Amino acid sequence: ELVLTQSPGTLSLSPGERATLSCRASQSVTSDYLAWYQHRPGQAPRLLLYGESVRAIGIPDRFSGSGSGTDFTLTISRLEPEDFAVYYCQHYGNSPYTLGQGTKLEIK
Amino acid sequence: QVQLRGSGPGVVKASETLSLTCSVSDNSISKFYWSWIRQPPGKRLEWIGFIYHTGYTNYNPALKSRVTMSIDRSKNQFSLTLNSVTAADTAVYYCAGGEWAPGRFDTWGQGTLVTVSS
C-alpha cells in the first residue's frame, strides 16, 4: 500500500511569507492523481489542487503544486490569515486511496 | 456547489454496529462517487470506501469485512454501516464526493464524531 509522508509536521510562518509543504510517496506515482486538501478547524476539508497542479474551483492562484516521482510540493506564495490550517496530500490513482498525515501551518 | 451533511449517533457500544447517513444537497447523488473517510484521534485520514449511484462499491481491504455502504437516490442519501466496532473505530467520520474520480474528494461534509464506548 502506498504511504505518503508529509513534512514538516508543523510549519510556523507569518502572513505574507511563502510556505513550502512537502509530500513524499513510498513509491513512484504519477502526478496526474496527486491532490492537496486544506482543513480549517471546525470546517469541512476542501480540495485545493488535483492532477498535482490544477486548482479546484474558487482556489486562489497563490496556491500551486509541483513535483514528480516520489516528491511533491504545495507552495503558498504569500500567506493570508485564512491559509493557516492543516494540509493533506493524497494519491487517488488506485484504491485504497491514501492520504498523508498532514502538515499544520500555524501563525508564527 | 454540492453540500453534504452527515448524521448518526455520536456514541456506539463496543461490538455493536455503527451507522451513519450522509445527505446530499441536490440530485448530484446520481453523478458522483460517494466516499466515507475517517480520522481517529491523533491519526491520519483513512479512506473507508466508496459507492457509486449504480450501487457499485469499493472498500478499503483493511475494513472490507465489516463495512457495508448503500445509497438511496430517492432521498439523496448514502449510508455507511460498520459492524463489530471496537475502541479503534472511534473517529471523526467524513462523507465526501468526487465527480470525476472515485478517489478524488471534491466536496466534504463537516464530519461526525463517533465514540465507541465499552
Please report, in tens digits, the pLDDT of each residue of chain B (118 residues total). Answer: 899 999 999 999 999 999 999 999 988 899 999 999 999 999 999 999 999 989 999 999 999 999 999 999 999 999 999 999 999 999 999 999 999 999 999 999 999 999 999 9
Scored b (16 or more CB within 10 A) or e, B41-52 reads eeeebbbbbbbb
CA distance B105 to chain A (A): 7
DSSP A17: S
Task: Quick: pLDDT tens for A3-13.
Answer: 999 999 999 99
| Cβ contact A92–B94 (<8 Å) | no
CA B2-A72-A47 angle, 5° bins? 10
CA distance B32 to chain A (A): 15
What nine digits make up the cell of B27? 440530485
| Cβ contact A95–B47 (<8 Å) | yes
Structural contact between residues A17 and A79, judged by C-beta atoms closer than 8 angstroms: yes
DSSP B41: T
Cβ of residue A96 closer than 8 Å to a chain B Cβ = yes
CA B99-B52-B110 angle, 5° bins? 60
